[in-house]
């Protein structure tokens, strides 16, 4: 069975660390590909390849400005990821609360043994 493409949606696109790095840079403002290459310390063709994937899933848009192609973050597809992650927030909070209880019990035990 053929493996499905791994860059067909925002979830898969952001699974790659370099793409997340590019998105973080674009969150600070629009940038041309050359600047992204400099900041990521990647070759321009590699950055262009990542930008193509991000563009295909709608995470970035591109605008021609003279001879430059300037990329801009499109946050709309990230909302789907944020919404999915939010569904785990209660689980995380419950686990952190449980961990806090364990730590408080340990601190009480320590204080009781120190007396």
The model's pLDDT over 93-113, given as tens digits with 9 standing for 90+, comes to: 999 989 989 999 899 888 878
Please state the domain count of the chain: 2
Q: Are residues 36 and 14 in the same domain?
A: yes
Q: Are residues 45 and 90 in the same domain?
A: no
Q: Are residues 59 and 3 in the same domain?
A: yes
Q: Domain of 37?
A: 1-74
- Of 8, 15, 96, nearest in space to 53 by CA: 8
Q: Are residues 97 and 61 in the same domain?
A: no
Q: Are residues 106 and 64 in the same domain?
A: no
Residue 4 has pLDDT above 50, yes or no: no
Q: Are residues 70 and 103 in the same domain?
A: no
Looking at the domain assignment, is residue 79 inside a domain?
Answer: no
């Amino acid at each position: 069975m053929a493996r499905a493409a791994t860059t067909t949606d925002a979830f898969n696109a952001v699974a790659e660390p370099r793409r997340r790095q590019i998105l973080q840079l674009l969150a600070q403002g629009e940038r041309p590909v050359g600047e992204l290459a400099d900041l990521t310390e990647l070759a321009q063709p590699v950055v262009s390849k990542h930008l193509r994937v991000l563009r295909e899933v709608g995470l970035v848009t591109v605008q021609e400005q003279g001879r430059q192609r300037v990329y801009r973050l499109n946050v709309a597809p990230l909302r789907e990821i944020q919404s999915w992650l939010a569904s785990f927030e209660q689980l995380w909070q419950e686990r952190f609360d449980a961990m806090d209880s364990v730590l408080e019990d340990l601190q009480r035990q320590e204080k009781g043994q120190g007396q």
